Amino acid sequence: MYVVFEGVDCVGKSTQISLLKECFKEAVFTAEPGGTKLGTHLRELLLHKPYQLDKKTELLLFLADRAQHYEEVLKANQDKLIISDRSFISGMAYAKDFENEELFRLNAFALENFFPQKVIFLKGDKNLIKERLSQKEQDAIEKRGIGYFLSVQDKLENTLQFLKEKINLQVLTLNANDTKENLHQKIKDFLR
Protein backbone atom coordinates (compact mmCIF):
# COMPACT_ATOMS: atom_id res chain seq x y z
CA MET A 1 0.00 0.00 0.00
CA TYR A 2 1.23 3.46 -0.91
CA VAL A 3 0.29 6.11 1.68
CA VAL A 4 1.12 9.80 1.53
CA PHE A 5 1.00 12.65 4.02
CA GLU A 6 -0.11 15.97 2.60
CA GLY A 7 -0.35 19.42 4.10
CA VAL A 8 1.52 22.69 4.04
CA ASP A 9 4.67 23.22 6.08
CA CYS A 10 4.32 23.27 9.88
CA VAL A 11 1.16 21.14 10.23
CA GLY A 12 2.93 18.15 11.82
CA LYS A 13 3.57 15.77 8.93
CA SER A 14 7.14 15.01 10.05
CA THR A 15 6.04 14.44 13.65
CA GLN A 16 3.34 11.96 12.63
CA ILE A 17 5.65 10.14 10.22
CA SER A 18 8.25 9.79 13.00
CA LEU A 19 5.60 8.26 15.27
CA LEU A 20 4.61 5.79 12.53
CA LYS A 21 8.20 4.60 12.19
CA GLU A 22 7.79 2.98 15.62
CA CYS A 23 4.59 1.16 14.57
CA PHE A 24 5.47 0.14 11.02
CA LYS A 25 9.10 -0.92 11.23
CA GLU A 26 8.94 -2.85 7.93
CA ALA A 27 7.54 0.10 5.98
CA VAL A 28 9.54 2.09 3.46
CA PHE A 29 9.63 5.77 4.47
CA THR A 30 10.38 8.37 1.84
CA ALA A 31 9.77 12.00 0.90
CA GLU A 32 9.09 14.17 -2.13
CA PRO A 33 11.08 16.02 -3.15
CA GLY A 34 14.32 14.58 -1.84
CA GLY A 35 13.70 10.82 -1.65
CA THR A 36 16.62 10.09 -4.01
CA LYS A 37 20.13 11.50 -4.53
CA LEU A 38 18.87 13.47 -7.52
CA GLY A 39 15.88 14.60 -5.47
CA THR A 40 18.12 15.86 -2.68
CA HIS A 41 20.02 18.04 -5.15
CA LEU A 42 16.84 19.29 -6.82
CA ARG A 43 15.24 20.02 -3.44
CA GLU A 44 18.27 22.09 -2.46
CA LEU A 45 18.15 23.94 -5.77
CA LEU A 46 14.42 24.63 -5.52
CA LEU A 47 14.31 25.63 -1.84
CA HIS A 48 17.43 27.78 -1.75
CA LYS A 49 17.21 29.14 -5.31
CA PRO A 50 20.66 30.43 -6.22
CA TYR A 51 18.97 31.90 -9.30
CA GLN A 52 15.47 32.78 -10.43
CA LEU A 53 13.51 29.94 -12.07
CA ASP A 54 10.35 30.50 -14.06
CA LYS A 55 7.26 28.51 -13.06
CA LYS A 56 7.48 26.04 -15.95
CA THR A 57 11.14 25.25 -15.21
CA GLU A 58 10.33 24.75 -11.52
CA LEU A 59 7.44 22.40 -12.41
CA LEU A 60 9.63 20.35 -14.75
CA LEU A 61 12.36 19.99 -12.11
CA PHE A 62 9.79 18.67 -9.63
CA LEU A 63 8.52 16.24 -12.30
CA ALA A 64 12.08 15.05 -12.96
CA ASP A 65 12.48 14.34 -9.26
CA ARG A 66 9.13 12.55 -9.19
CA ALA A 67 10.03 10.30 -12.14
CA GLN A 68 13.36 9.37 -10.54
CA HIS A 69 11.66 8.79 -7.17
CA TYR A 70 9.18 6.47 -8.86
CA GLU A 71 11.97 4.46 -10.51
CA GLU A 72 14.22 4.22 -7.46
CA VAL A 73 11.78 4.02 -4.55
CA LEU A 74 8.13 3.45 -5.44
CA LYS A 75 8.48 0.90 -8.24
CA ALA A 76 11.09 -1.11 -6.33
CA ASN A 77 8.91 -1.29 -3.19
CA GLN A 78 5.35 -1.43 -4.52
CA ASP A 79 4.74 -4.75 -2.72
CA LYS A 80 5.52 -3.10 0.65
CA LEU A 81 3.92 -0.42 2.78
CA ILE A 82 5.31 2.88 1.49
CA ILE A 83 4.77 6.01 3.58
CA SER A 84 5.76 9.29 1.96
CA ASP A 85 6.09 12.82 3.25
CA ARG A 86 4.30 14.51 0.34
CA SER A 87 3.70 13.33 -3.20
CA PHE A 88 2.56 14.49 -6.62
CA ILE A 89 -0.54 15.91 -4.87
CA SER A 90 1.56 18.65 -3.27
CA GLY A 91 3.25 19.14 -6.61
CA MET A 92 -0.12 19.84 -8.19
CA ALA A 93 -1.18 22.20 -5.41
CA TYR A 94 2.05 24.19 -5.39
CA ALA A 95 1.95 24.53 -9.19
CA LYS A 96 -0.98 26.93 -8.85
CA ASP A 97 -0.52 28.53 -12.27
CA PHE A 98 -1.30 25.36 -14.24
CA GLU A 99 -4.56 23.51 -14.90
CA ASN A 100 -5.33 20.35 -12.91
CA GLU A 101 -5.90 18.25 -16.05
CA GLU A 102 -2.51 19.19 -17.46
CA LEU A 103 -0.77 18.58 -14.12
CA PHE A 104 -2.51 15.24 -13.71
CA ARG A 105 -1.36 14.06 -17.16
CA LEU A 106 2.24 15.13 -16.52
CA ASN A 107 2.32 13.44 -13.12
CA ALA A 108 0.66 10.27 -14.44
CA PHE A 109 3.45 10.11 -17.02
CA ALA A 110 6.20 10.65 -14.41
CA LEU A 111 4.65 8.03 -12.09
CA GLU A 112 3.63 5.53 -14.78
CA ASN A 113 0.12 5.78 -13.27
CA PHE A 114 1.28 4.54 -9.85
CA PHE A 115 -0.79 6.59 -7.42
CA PRO A 116 -1.23 6.45 -3.63
CA GLN A 117 -4.16 4.49 -2.25
CA LYS A 118 -4.46 6.53 0.95
CA VAL A 119 -3.82 10.17 1.79
CA ILE A 120 -3.55 11.72 5.25
CA PHE A 121 -4.25 15.44 4.83
CA LEU A 122 -3.24 17.52 7.85
CA LYS A 123 -4.98 20.87 7.77
CA GLY A 124 -3.90 23.71 10.04
CA ASP A 125 -5.54 27.00 10.85
CA LYS A 126 -3.90 30.37 10.28
CA ASN A 127 -2.69 30.77 13.88
CA LEU A 128 -1.08 27.32 14.07
CA ILE A 129 0.79 27.73 10.79
CA LYS A 130 1.87 31.29 11.63
CA GLU A 131 3.12 30.28 15.08
CA ARG A 132 5.09 27.27 13.83
CA LEU A 133 6.55 29.17 10.87
CA SER A 134 7.86 31.85 13.24
CA GLN A 135 9.77 29.19 15.20
CA LYS A 136 11.97 27.98 12.35
CA GLU A 137 14.50 29.19 9.85
CA GLN A 138 12.62 29.64 6.59
CA ASP A 139 13.55 28.48 3.11
CA ALA A 140 12.56 30.29 -0.12
CA ILE A 141 9.07 28.77 -0.17
CA GLU A 142 8.37 29.39 3.53
CA LYS A 143 9.38 33.04 3.13
CA ARG A 144 6.35 33.53 0.87
CA GLY A 145 4.27 33.98 4.03
CA ILE A 146 1.09 32.80 5.72
CA GLY A 147 -1.24 33.98 2.94
CA TYR A 148 0.65 31.84 0.46
CA PHE A 149 0.38 28.76 2.70
CA LEU A 150 -3.33 29.22 3.27
CA SER A 151 -3.92 29.50 -0.48
CA VAL A 152 -1.83 26.35 -1.08
CA GLN A 153 -3.80 24.56 1.63
CA ASP A 154 -7.03 25.49 -0.16
CA LYS A 155 -5.50 24.29 -3.44
CA LEU A 156 -4.52 21.00 -1.75
CA GLU A 157 -8.14 20.48 -0.74
CA ASN A 158 -9.35 21.26 -4.25
CA THR A 159 -6.69 18.99 -5.76
CA LEU A 160 -7.73 16.11 -3.51
CA GLN A 161 -11.35 16.60 -4.58
CA PHE A 162 -10.30 16.61 -8.24
CA LEU A 163 -8.21 13.45 -7.77
CA LYS A 164 -11.01 11.55 -6.02
CA GLU A 165 -12.87 11.74 -9.34
CA LYS A 166 -9.82 10.53 -11.31
CA ILE A 167 -8.30 7.74 -9.21
CA ASN A 168 -9.26 5.41 -6.38
CA LEU A 169 -8.14 7.52 -3.42
CA GLN A 170 -9.10 7.33 0.25
CA VAL A 171 -8.51 10.62 2.07
CA LEU A 172 -8.39 11.19 5.83
CA THR A 173 -8.56 14.92 6.59
CA LEU A 174 -7.42 15.83 10.10
CA ASN A 175 -7.32 19.06 12.09
CA ALA A 176 -3.61 19.66 12.72
CA ASN A 177 -4.54 21.61 15.87
CA ASP A 178 -5.48 18.32 17.57
CA THR A 179 -2.95 16.71 19.92
CA LYS A 180 -0.21 14.65 18.31
CA GLU A 181 -1.42 11.61 20.27
CA ASN A 182 -5.00 11.90 18.98
CA LEU A 183 -3.77 12.46 15.44
CA HIS A 184 -1.46 9.45 15.70
CA GLN A 185 -4.29 7.18 16.83
CA LYS A 186 -6.60 8.33 14.03
CA ILE A 187 -3.84 7.80 11.47
CA LYS A 188 -3.03 4.29 12.76
CA ASP A 189 -6.73 3.37 12.59
CA PHE A 190 -6.90 4.66 9.00
CA LEU A 191 -3.89 2.58 7.96
CA ARG A 192 -5.17 -0.70 9.41
Query: Is 171 annotated to bind ligand?
Result: no
Query: Is 35 annotated to bind ligand?
Result: no
Query: Is 14 annotated to bind ligand?
Result: yes
What is the DSSP annotation of 106-136?
Answer: HHHHHHTT---SEEEEEE--HHHHHHHHHTS
Query: Is 13 annotated to bind ligand?
Result: yes
Query: Is 87 annotated to bind ligand?
Result: no
Query: Is 12 annotated to bind ligand?
Result: yes
Residues 6 or more apart whose CB falls under 8 angstroms from that of 132 comprise 9, 10, 11, 124
For residue 144, give the H/E element and its range. Answer: none
State the Cα torsion 67-73-76-82 to the nearest 10°: -120
User: What's the gap between Cα 162 and its chain centre?
Assistant: 16
Query: Is 8 annotated to bind ligand?
Result: yes
Distances (CA, A) of 81 to 26, 34, 116: 8, 19, 11
Query: Is 84 annotated to bind ligand?
Result: no
As annotated, the binding site for ATP includes: 7-14
As annotated, the binding site includes: 7-14
